[in-house]
Structure 1
Amino acid sequence: MNFALSDDQRLLLDTVRRFIDEVLHPLEEQIESTGVLPDEVARRVHAQSKELGLYALNMPEALGGAGLSAVDCMLCEEEFGHTTDILIRRAFGNVYEALLACKGEQVERWLKPAVSGERTCAIAITEPGAGSDAQGIRTTARETAGGWVLNGGKHFISDGLWSDFFLVSARTGDKEISLFIVDKDLPGFRIGKDQAMMGIRGTPHVELFFDDVPLERLALLGERGQGFRMAMQNLGRVRLAQVGARAVGKAAHVLDLMNRFAAERRQFGQPIGDFQMIQQMIADSVIEVNAARLMVHRAAWMIDNGMDARDWISMVKVHAAETLGRVVDRGVQVFGGMGFCKELPIERYYRDARIYRIFDGTSEIHRTVIARSARKLGASLFQLHR
């Protein structure tokens, strides 16, 4: 196996790194203090990223995207992890692969504008009674002569204030879930409160309410009754990117800060990096970050080769999320009192890291998935090449 990066990959990653360092990092402190990314700044960041060809990297070239492989996307997503969530969304886009199911008029109306960044999209599955249990939704879509009528509600919908349309899961029968494209300005569609969060400041997490919202027949994405399957397929790639790869990037960023601080900070006449306990925290972090990184690349390689990566993505989700939590916790410890102060970003990274073990399926849910697969598949799940 060749782990070397090609010249094209190196050029791409260098471009992403420079953009994050020069354009995005200077904006983080303002977002953290105000909780808001101003619209005019968001539009400027978006335009600068598009000019460099960094928007919608995961989408096909034929549609205006970059057409990157899953492995190349994950290399970029790790770099994205070095900045904050809302800046990633504005700069690089949040274009869901589920939109590739668009056909006919849907392509011009929703898919292409999403890829170009003219319109933005959020996915709306989570409900108060249906978090990790995505099949437990109660939102309904009733078929009519002219289309559908949508009723129900969603919550914790990331980026809902900025989005122009939503991919909404709804029951179309007792045992049937379908996926719908819902424009924000439809009658009966109301956006509720923005739920304040412990971390990831600047990213709205809103409630959505649907009161007899009329939908065209065209609003059905894919086939009726296939919404749960489509959502889960889409969320697999999302988990690998937005949780797995970005968690690795965030952990690597904190590890770099730890390592430099341990070399500069002196106690008892020597750098604290000379103390064995500090060395152990750094060494454990290096080991875990690299293990998580290799797991991400393995799962992405499986996707590129047409293999079923669901079990590996669940393993990545657990390991990368929990690695990030452990590394950031060690970071606070290495920085000591300064790690607990808002003057440095370490305490922000600590708060931001906690959600990774919860969203897109909790660690407990994914462990259940892994254990069931282990019982079913046996050694083939434990070995790379069987």
Structure 2
Amino acid sequence: MDFGLTDEQSLLVATVRRFIETELQPFEKEVEETGKLDERHARTIFEKSRALGLYATNMPAELGGGGLSAVDTALVEEQFGHTSDILIRRAFGNVYDVLLLCDDLQRERWLLPAIQGRRTCSIAITEPGAGSDAAGIRTRANRDGQGWRLTGSKHFISDGLFSDFFIVSAVTDPAAGSRGISLFLVDKDLPGVRVGKDQPMMGLRGTSHVELFFDDVQLDQMTLLGREGEGLRAALTTLGRVRLMQVGARAVGKAAHVLAQTISYAGDRHQFGRPLADFQLVQGMIADSVIDVVSARLLVRRAAWELDQGRDARELIAMVKVHAAEALGRVVDRAVQIHGGMGFAKELPIERYFRDARVYRIFDGASEVHRVAIARAAVKAGARAFDEGY
């Protein structure tokens, strides 16, 4: 097995890293202080990213995207972890893989404009009574003579203020349980669609997290994404890739970014006439963080490689979700400890990293939910699976 990067991959990583350092990181302080990104700055970084071919890199090249493999996407997403969520969204896009379910007519209306950056979407699955339990949603879509009538509500919809359409899950056949859930493409400007309050968060400054309300919204026939009744399966399948990249790979990137700053600080900061990095207890924390970053990175790339082989990587992605998210939390916590009082002060970004890291154990399925999935898969696979390299 070759764990090294090809020349092309090394160039890709260097290009993305340089773009983030020169074009995005300078805006982080503005976002943190004001809670938003100026529209002119957002437009500028979008145009620069598009010019470099860095927008919608996860989409097929024949559709105008970057055409990256899963492994290459993981490499890029790890670099995304070196900056703030809202800057990632504006520079690189919210073009979710589930949109590849679009048929020819839907491509022209939703998919291609999203890839080109002319439209932006958000995923609208979470409800007040159905967070990690995606099958517990209550939003309904009932057939009528013109298409569908959508009624219900969603919350914690990331970037909902900016997006102009949503991928919405709704029950179309209550008697069918999880097989009675479908996905719909819902434009924000449709009558009956209302954006509620923006929920302030502990971290992720600049990214809105809104409520959505659907009051008997008329949807035409072409808004059904994929097949009726297969929405939950489609969401769990295609959004698993999102979970791997936007949670797992980015968590690795954030952890690596924090660790690099921590090592630098420990070498420069002196106590009792010696650099902090000379103290064994500090060295122990640094070593543990290195192990966390490297192990999480390897797990992400293994899962991405499995996807590129056309294999089912659901269990590996669940492992990534748990390990990468919790590794990030440990790395940032140690960073605060090593920085001491300055790690708790807003003068340095460490306290921001600490706040931003906490949600990784919650969104896209809480760690506890994924642990259950991992355990069930392990029991089903049996002991031999681990002897043979699970």
Give the TM-score taking structure 1 as reference length: 0.99
Percent of paired sites with the same residue: 66
Q: Which residue of 1 aligns with 2:323?
A: 319
After TM superposition, give the deviation of residue 379 of structure 1 in Å. Answer: 3.2
**1:224-263 pair list within 5 angstroms:** 224-263=228-267
User: What is the root-mean-square deviation in Å for CA atoms of aligned residues?
Assistant: 0.9
**1:59-98 pair list within 5 angstroms:** 59-98=59-98
* Residue deviations 1:162-207 (CA, integer Å, cap 9, x gap): 1011000000011200000000100000000000000010000000
**1:35-54 pair list within 5 angstroms:** 35-54=35-54
Q: Which runs of 5+ in 1 are unaligned?
A: none
Q: Which residue of 1 aligns with 2:373?
A: 369
Change (3 A) 1:281 1:193: same
- The 1-side partners of 2:388 and 2:50 are apart by 38
- The 2-side partners of 1:94 and 1:240 are apart by 15
Contact 2:123/2:168 (<8 A) preserved: yes
Contact 2:97/2:239 (<8 A) preserved: no
Letter in 2 for 1:329: D
Change (3 A) 1:91 1:320: same
SS of 1:118's partner is coil
Q: Which residue of 1 aligns with 2:199?
A: 195
SS of 1:218's partner is helix
Change (3 A) 1:235 1:144: same
* Residue deviations 1:298-321 (CA, integer Å, cap 9, x gap): 000000001100000000000000
Q: Which residue of 2 aligns with 1:343?
A: 347
After TM superposition, give the deviation of residue 101 of structure 1 in Å. Answer: 0.7
Contact 1:340/1:347 (<8 A) preserved: yes
Contact 2:170/2:182 (<8 A) preserved: yes
* Residue deviations 1:339-380 (CA, integer Å, cap 9, x gap): 000000000000000000000000000000001111101235
1:179 aligns with 2:178: no
Letter in 2 for 1:10: S
1:23 aligns with 2:27: no
Moved more, 373-382 or 303-312: 373-382
Contact 1:189/1:213 (<8 A) preserved: yes
- The 2-side partners of 1:177 and 1:331 are apart by 43
- The 2-side partners of 1:306 and 1:99 are apart by 19
Q: Which residue of 2 aligns with 1:57?
A: 57
SS of 1:215's partner is strand
- The 2-side partners of 1:6 and 1:201 are apart by 35
SS of 1:308's partner is coil
Q: Which runs of 4+ in 1 moved over 6 A?
A: none
SS of 2:129's partner is coil
Q: Which residue of 2 aligns with 1:223?
A: 227
- The 2-side partners of 1:385 and 1:57 are apart by 32
- The 2-side partners of 1:233 and 1:122 are apart by 17
Q: Which residue of 2 aligns with 1:286?
A: 290
* Residue deviations 1:20-70 (CA, integer Å, cap 9, x gap): 000100000010011011222111111110001000010000000010000
* Residue deviations 1:225-272 (CA, integer Å, cap 9, x gap): 000011111220111011100000000001001100111000001101
- The 2-side partners of 1:85 and 1:242 are apart by 10
Q: Which runs of 5+ in 2 are unaligned?
A: none
SS of 1:67's partner is coil
- The 1-side partners of 2:350 and 2:89 are apart by 22
Contact 1:373/1:381 (<8 A) preserved: no
- The 1-side partners of 2:386 and 2:348 are apart by 41
SS of 2:340's partner is helix
Letter in 2 for 1:154: K
- The 1-side partners of 2:384 and 2:115 are apart by 38
2:382 pairs, out of 369, 378, 381, with 378
Letter in 1 for 2:64: G
Q: Which residue of 1 aligns with 2:300?
A: 296
Letter in 1 for 2:163: S
Letter in 1 for 2:162: W
Letter in 2 for 1:253: H
Contact 1:56/1:115 (<8 A) preserved: yes
Letter in 1 for 2:205: R
Letter in 2 for 1:237: R
1:306 aligns with 2:310: yes
After TM superposition, give the deviation of residue 381 of structure 1 in Å. Answer: 4.8
Contact 1:58/1:68 (<8 A) preserved: yes
After TM superposition, give the deviation of residue 332 of structure 1 in Å. Answer: 0.2
Q: Which residue of 2 aligns with 1:10?
A: 10
Change (3 A) 1:327 1:218: same
